[in-house]
C-alpha cells in the first residue's frame, strides 16, 4: 500500500526581485513593489510531500522525526532569517518563490532517502503559493 505524507514547516526570509540582466526600469515594471531596493520579507509556509509503501511494523510512510530533522537541518537552518539574495543558491538567479521551491526540492531530493519526494509547495502569502515537483532543469 502506497501512502502520501505532507508535513508543514515555517520560516521567515527576505528578498528583492531584481535581475542584473535587465535595466532598472524594466525590473521596476516586471517586479513592481517587489523590486524595492531595500527588499521585503515573507513568513513562508513550506509543505513537503513524500510517499512510499506503508511499513507493516510501524504503519508509517517514514518516521516524522527523520523528515523533521532533515528539513530543519537542510532547509530551515539554511534559509530562516536570511536575505535570499545573499545566498549562493541565488547568485545566478532571481530569488522568486518559484526558484525557492525548486531549490528546496533539489536539496530534499539529494539528501532525504527515507521516502520518495513528491513535491514541495511554498505559501508566500495568503494569495500566492508555488509548487515544484521536479522535472525539467530550472533556467538559470
Please report, for the domain that includes residue 32, its CATH number. Answer: 3.30.479.10
The answer to the question of residue 67 being in a domain is: yes
Question: Edge-to-edge, what's the strand order for the sheet holding 82-83?
Answer: 82-83, 2-15, 40-53, 116-123, 129-132
Share of the chain above pLDDT 70, in %: 96
The answer to the question of residue 17 being in a domain is: yes
pLDDT digits (tens, 9 = 90+) for 4-52: 999 999 999 999 999 999 999 999 999 999 999 999 999 999 999 999 9
The three cell numbers of residue 42 are 515573507
Q: What stretch of H or E contains 105?
A: helix 97-111
Report DSSP letters for 5-69, one per residue. Answer: EEEEEEEEEEE----TTS-HHHHHHHHGGGG-TT-EEEEEEEEEEEEEEPPTTT-SSS-HHHHHH
Residue 1 confidence (pLDDT) above 90: no
Q: What is the predicted pLDDT for the residue at 68?
A: 98
The answer to the question of residue 127 being in a domain is: yes
The answer to the question of residue 84 being in a domain is: yes
- Whole-number Cα distances in Å, 98 to 14, 67, 72, 89, 134: 15, 22, 20, 13, 12
Structural domain boundaries, residue 45: 2-132
What is the pTM for the complete model shown? 0.93
Q: Give me the number of domains the chain comprises.
A: 1
Amino acid at each position: 500500500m502506497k501512502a502520501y505524507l505532507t508535513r508543514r514547516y515555517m520560516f521567515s526570509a527576505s528578498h528583492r526581485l531584481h535581475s542584473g540582466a535587465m535595466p532598472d526600469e524594466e525590473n521596476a515594471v516586471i517586479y513592481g513593489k517587489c523590486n524595492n531596493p531595500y527588499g521585503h520579507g515573507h513568513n513562508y509556509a513550506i509543505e513537503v510531500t513524500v510517499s512510499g509503501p506503508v511499513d507493516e511494523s510501524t504503519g508509517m510512510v517514514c518516521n516524522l522525526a527523520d523528515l523533521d530533522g532533515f528539513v530543519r537541518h537542510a532547509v530551515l537552518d539554511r534559509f530562516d532569517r536570511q536575505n535570499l539574495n545573499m545566498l549562493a543558491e541565488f547568485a545566478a538567479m532571481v530569488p522568486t518563490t518559484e526558484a525557492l521551491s525548486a531549490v528546496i526540492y533539489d536539496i530534499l531530493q539529494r539528501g532525504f532517502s527515507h521516502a520518495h519526494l513528491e513535491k514541495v509547495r511554498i505559501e508566500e502569502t495568503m494569495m500566492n503559493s508555488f509548487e515544484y515537483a521536479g522535472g525539467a532543469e530550472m533556467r538559470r
